[in-house]
Amino acid sequence: MHSPDGPSQRQLRVGEMLRRAISDILARGDHYDPELANISITIGEVRTSPDLKNATVFVYPLGGQNAKHMVAALNKSSGEIRYALTKNVTLKHSPKLKFMIDTTFDQMDETSRLLNQENVTRDLDDDGSEI
């Protein structure tokens, strides 16, 4: 999806613009889906293809409950969300949206768990005199 050098400034800028717009659409209720009615959704990131015609939206439900169900409902509604997006964002092409679970929070928890292990904290607390 991204070039070997990473996303361009344009992709990053459009991704952030889409993230804010989709967040607003879901928060304001511009798109109503009974399956998503009582779920608080965090949109962590939006990654766009180099041609900006496709966007992957990384989402996570508050509390992490029913994430797979939430992603399935969002993907089922992606056409309507895309339509609402065209009213809020001016782009040459409205990107096709694909929703995926954001695993960043799980990765942060795992990193925190690893850093709090006894042998790691002992090594971090060590003054470096032993080699």
Using the predicted structure, report yes or no on whether residue 108 has a pLDDT greater than 80: no
- Name the maximum alpha-carbon separation found in the chain: 63
Helix/strand/coil (H/E/C) assignment for every residue in 63-81:
HHCCHHHHHHHHHHCHHHH
Q: Among candidates 76, 77, 84, 85, which has minimal Cα distance to 48? A: 85
- Domains of the chain, with CATH numbers? 9-125 (3.30.300.20)
Q: Which residue has the higher pLDDT, 1 or 17?
A: 17
pLDDT digits (tens, 9 = 90+) for 49-82: 999 999 999 999 887 778 888 999 999 999 999 9
> How many whole angstroms separate alpha carbon 82 and alpha carbon 56?
12
Q: Which residue has the higher pLDDT, 102 or 103?
A: 102
Q: What is the pLDDT of residue 2?
A: 46
Beta strand extents in the chain (DSSP E only): 41-48, 54-61, 96-101
Q: What is the pLDDT of residue 124?
A: 67
